[in-house]
Structure 1
Amino acid sequence: MADSTPPILVKHQDTKAFVVSLLEASGVPKKNAEVVAHGLVAADLRGVDSHGINRIPSYLARIRNNILDPKAEPTLTQVTPVVAQVDGHNGFGFPAAHLGMETAISMARTFGIGMVSVKHSNHFGMSAWIVQQAIDAGFMSLVFTNSSPALPVWGGKSQLMGVSPIACGAPGGENSIPFILDMAPSVAARGKIHKALRRGEKIPQGWALDENGRQTTDPAEALKGVMLPMGGPKGSALAIMMDVFSGVLSGSAFAGGVTGPYDMSKPGDVGHFFVAIKPDLFLSLEEFKERMDILYQKVVSSEKMEGVERILFPGELEQLTEKKRLKEGIPFVHAEVDALNKEAERLGVGKIWQSPS
C-alpha cells in the first residue's frame, strides 16, 4: 500500500552530508564519497528520485558483500591526444565517471574534442549530473553507459539488453537554459520500478511484463519480468547501441553480462563512454549562444496542442523541480527515511531525519 502520510522534507545540504557520512563510515575515501553524494543528491534535486540517495542501501550492501571495492581509485590511461580510458577497478561508478568527463573536457579544451571510455565500473546514478559537469565547464557532451539486462531485444521475450540511458547536453545562451537530454530506451527507467516497490505503489500499465509475458502494474512482478522498450524496435536498437559504445568498445561486460546494483552475486563490470565538444568549433561562441537562444524560444513558444499549458525544453522540468527543492527541501516518504536511518544505525552515524519526540 502506498504511503499516504506527508513526505519528510530534508535540506539538500543535510542530505549530502548524510550520504558522505555513510560512505566514509563504509571505507570510501572522503573525496570519492563527496562525488557519489553530489551525483545522488543532484538526482533528488532534479526530481529523478529513482536515481537519488535511496540507491545507498543497495550500494552499501554491495560493499558488505565484497562485491564493490569502496577504496578503489579510478586510473587513467592516455591513448591519443584526444582519447583516454579510465579503469574503475570495481569502485563506485561516480568517481570513474567524474574523472572520465573531466579528462574529456581537458582534451576538448585543447583539441576541440575529447573522448573517454570507462571500463570495470559500476552504476553512476543519473546521467544528467555528468552532462551538467560538461555544461558547467562550457562544453557540449555525450554520456553513454550500459547496464544490467532488463529489456528483451525486439522480437525476443527474455532480458538481454540494459535500460541504458542515452544522455547529451549543450550550454544555453543568455536567454535560454542548457539543453539536457537524459532518457532510457524503455518506456520508463528500471529505477522507477524499484522506487514504486519501495513506496508500495503500483506502476502504470504498459511499462513492463511479468515473468509470464503479461502486462503488470505490480512492481515486484515487473522486476521478475522485462521492461518494455519505447517505440518497439527503435528502443531496442538504442539499447543495443549503448552496449556497443559502452560495453563492447571499452572491454567491459556486454550482451547481458553486466551485473545490476541490486545483484549481490558478482561485480558490475559496467562500461561508459563520454565525449566532450567545444561549442565554438565551427562558429563563434557568441553566435552559438545566440542560436541556442533562438532554438529555445522557437521550442517553448510553439503553438500548443489542445490541453497543453506550457511547452518545456528538454531538461527544463527538472530544472524547475531543482529550484523548488533547493528552497523547500527534498521530499522522502517514511519508508525511504526508515531504510536510510537503518543504514545509519548500522554504521553508527547520525540519522538523516529524527522523528520529533
Structure 2
Amino acid sequence: MNNEGKVETNAEVALGARKLMPLGGTEINSGYKGYGLGMLVEIFSGILSGSAYGPNIRKWGEHDKLANLGNGFLAIDHSYFAPGFEERMSDLMDTIRNMEPVDPDLPVLAHGDKELLHMHKVEMEGGLSYVENQHNTNAKLAEKLKVQPMASKSVAIEPRN
C-alpha cells in the first residue's frame, strides 16, 4: 500500500509508506470479507479486552509508551451448529492439502500440519533435538542451580546449505 491507501507495486514506495494491505486484499478480490474479519479481531482484541484499538495502538518502533495490546479468544461448541462438523472439517482440510502447490517440493499444509510432522520426527528420534549451544547453556544452568543436568544423547548434525 502507498500513503494514499492504494495498492502499490513499487517495493521501495510500499516499504516507505509502512502500510499493510487489508486482510483479504482489495474489494475486487473479496477484501470486504477482510474488513469484517479485521473488525471482529479489533473488537475481540481491543474493545472487549480493554486494550488499545485502531488508531490508539502505538506505532511500530515507538517505545515512549506501553503497547497495551490485547488478546481475544473464542471457544465454540460446534455441536450447537449444523451436524457433520468432523466430516466437513476433514473434507475442507483434505481439499486444502490436495491443492496444487506453488513449489512441487513443498506440499500445501493446513494449520497444525508442521507441528504434527515435528511430533512424528521427535517420536522417531526418541526425543527433542537441541543445538550444542543449548546443551551448554542447560549444563551451566544445572550447575548454577545445583541440579542434575538434562540427559541427552549425542547426535551427528548435518550442516545446513
Whichever residue aligns with residue 135 of structure 2, its letter is: V
Per the TM alignment, residue 335 of structure 1 is displaced from its structure 2 partner at its CA by 1.2
What does the per-residue CA deviation read over 1:70-111, in whole Å, with 9 as the maximum and x for residues that have no partner? xxxxxxxxxxxxxxxxxxxxxxxxxxxxxxxxxxxxxxxxxx
Per the TM alignment, residue 313 of structure 1 is displaced from its structure 2 partner at its CA by 1.8
Which runs of 5 or more residues in structure 1 are unaligned? 1-153, 156-227, 259-268
TM-score when normalising by structure 2: 0.52
Match of 2:71 in 1: 272
For 1:233, which of 1, 14, 20 is the aligned residue? 20
Q: How many residues align?
A: 117
Match of 2:95 in 1: 298
Whichever residue aligns with residue 78 of structure 2, its letter is: P
SS in 1 for 2:129: strand
Which runs of 5 or more residues in structure 2 are unaligned? 4-14, 24-34, 59-64, 155-161
Per the TM alignment, residue 270 of structure 1 is displaced from its structure 2 partner at its CA by 6.8
Whichever residue aligns with residue 322 of structure 1, its letter is: M
Tell me how large the CA RMSD over aligned residues is: 4.0
Equivalent-residue separation in structure 2 for 1:349 and 1:336 (angstroms): 17
Kept in 2, the 8 Å contact 1:341–1:353? The answer is: no
Equivalent-residue separation in structure 2 for 1:306 and 1:270 (angstroms): 36
The structure with higher relative contact order (CA 8 Å, sep 6+) is: 1
Give the number of the structure whose alpha-carbon radius of gyration is greater: 2
Whichever residue aligns with residue 233 of structure 1, its letter is: L
Match of 1:85 in 2: none
Structure with greater proportional strand content: 1
Percent same amino acid among aligned pairs?
29
TM-score when normalising by structure 1: 0.26
Per the TM alignment, residue 244 of structure 1 is displaced from its structure 2 partner at its CA by 6.1
Equivalent-residue separation in structure 1 for 2:152 and 2:94 (angstroms): 45
Equivalent-residue separation in structure 2 for 1:332 and 1:347 (angstroms): 20
Per the TM alignment, residue 355 of structure 1 is displaced from its structure 2 partner at its CA by 8.5
Write the mapping of 1:1-357 to structure 2, written as runs, cut at 5 A: 232-234=19-21, 245-246=44-45, 249-251=48-50, 255=58, 257-258=66-67, 271-284=70-83, 287-305=84-102, 307-308=104-105, 310-328=107-125, 329-353=127-151
